[in-house]
A and B are shown apart, each in its own frame.
Chain A
Amino acid sequence: MTRNWRHRAIWKSMPPQLRIFIENNPSFVACIVLCLIFSLFVPKFFSISNLVNILDIVSLTMITASTMGLVIMLGSIDLSLEGISGLACVVASVFVRNAMTPFAIGYWAIPIAILVGMIGGLINGVIHTYVKIPSFMITFCMGSIMTGVGVLIIKGVAVVVRDDSIRWLALGRIFGIPFSFIIAVLIVIILDLFHKKTIHGRYISMIGGDEGIVRDLGINVRKIKIVLFGLVGMVYGLVGVLLVAKLGSGHPYNSWDMNFEAISACLIGGIAITGGVGNIGKAVVGSFIIVILKNGMILLNIDPYVQAGIVGVITIAIVALTIDREKITILK
């Protein structure tokens, strides 16, 4: 990027720490620029109500993108997000007070949903590593299976939730900040600490960079993968609970669209699809870019027929401008 930039004088006059930050975080800079442009040209974009609105909508995307980011950095892909979180959403809804079943166990539904997610994730990891089925295939199939199980449980009819305490997870506010966003920040911090501060986490990017070398070093790659898929599944389970809280019902389709959004957020943020490159922060930035783009389109009342095209063009532009081509040795 610096070699092609015209304004060398301005670039060289910047403090070195700022230059390094911009070089290492181009997506973050793109996000800031996007916010500045929207603040100037999009009415009501830079208002408290809209910022709170963005935090509310981005919370689920942040969580799913962060977990997806870990899987992508591992060199794999996880297409079971919609299925696992959809099933967890159904399971959580049938166990809290609802219009369909006699259960009403309140917050105890959360660990049950997380357990369901963990089981789904572990199955992904075990079959991927032991049976050696590519991650995209096994997770795609597991996603379908999980969706099918969810449909079987509720027979196609959404479970209407009547538990206000669960709803508070999404509807509640602390000093005006959506509680779901606070949960998202906590999850992101935990995942980031796991990735950067634990041995297990550090191996993730190493495996994504070159699995052969890591294996030759005698590290148990299989165990690391299984643990990661299990962890990711647990987070998907929690996402299912948050979907119940947000939408007030349990249905496998409540998680529709999440796969594509999570993967897009990671790529836009700068996590290389080939693995080994990236961090949780990039996934978070990518999440904000996607949500802010869609928010801007609606606020500007852009014709729905062209919205998808505009979002696509801007996304390509952001990725093209921010991608670090030197770190990507294989293009897929």
Chain B
Amino acid sequence: MRLDRLSGRSTRLAGPITVTIVLAGLWLGDSAFWIYNLTLVGAYAIVVIGLNILLGYAGLVSFAQTAFMAVGGYGVAILSVRHAVDPWLGLIAGMAVAGGAAALIGLALFRLRGHYLTMASFALAMGVFGYATAAVSFTGGSVGIAGVPPFVLGSFTFSDPRHAYALVWVLVGLCAWAGVRARDSHVGRAWRTIADNENVAASLGLPVLRYKLIAFVIAAVMGALGGGLYVDFTSYANPELYAPAIIVNIFLMLFLGGRGHTLGPIVGAAIVVIVPLQIAGLSDIQAIIFNLALLVLILVLPGGLLDARSWRGLAAPLRRLRALGGADAQMAHTADAELEPAALAGRSRR
């Protein structure tokens, strides 16, 4: 039977681009700033790749990703610091607990649809954040848990930031690859069908709940992986890593990069982590400038930076302006008000 692959160009590029990023790290050499921050970008990218599977492929809007990050982060921190367990095992334990919890919670959560599902997932994220802050004896409360030891592989310790960098980006590559494989499989097609129309999916014999759970569990495991790596590399876990603002950031990463696009999470994570650091000199107005820039980006490219259709949409008003050409200024002035923001943005790009 011939199977149509739904893959795009970004699929084939995912591997080479990951390799390039890892190699670029070697070239960046001892720029501690870049190595450190790009490592954090990688950890977030893994979390967002998970969200992309859930939201970009299966169409499920869940705010629970930070809850699973917390499971991964505290899994590494509590097991390695308090119980002297190998951080790898802590990481794997965190991922396993997150996956298992997601399967159980999902059974209850997916009785809800649409906005109700989203609100319930938000409650889950808020609950975990509240618990992490309040359960002082278990999580260290708002003080958190410091001194998380680095990963060790045989006699090799990932203590050098460059090693951590290489490790996280190899894992980003693996997660991106896994996401693409899932998307191009029958599971991915089922996700798209469910995202389009759940009732049609069920009428076509697709076990909707099972496919939703698969997406939710994969997202949770990736969330725990990213959360665990983040805590290990910064050697510190605290509730602020899973605060409501972080949920917003994670969604921003996905929507800026381009939901449904393989590389979207990576590009989005890079922008949300790096750009505020680059414009830190603006101090007071930094947040305003950054968020204004985000607003404009979302308005101009609603599908995200990697969404070709959004870029083409950007070109259309430009063409229309050009078609007006030498026509009198009044006509341009009375142009459709709806087109104005895009048209203005288009003009400023030239």
Query: Are A and B genuine complex partners?
Result: no
A interface residues, Cβ below 8 angstroms from B: none
B-side residues, CB < 8 A to A, are none
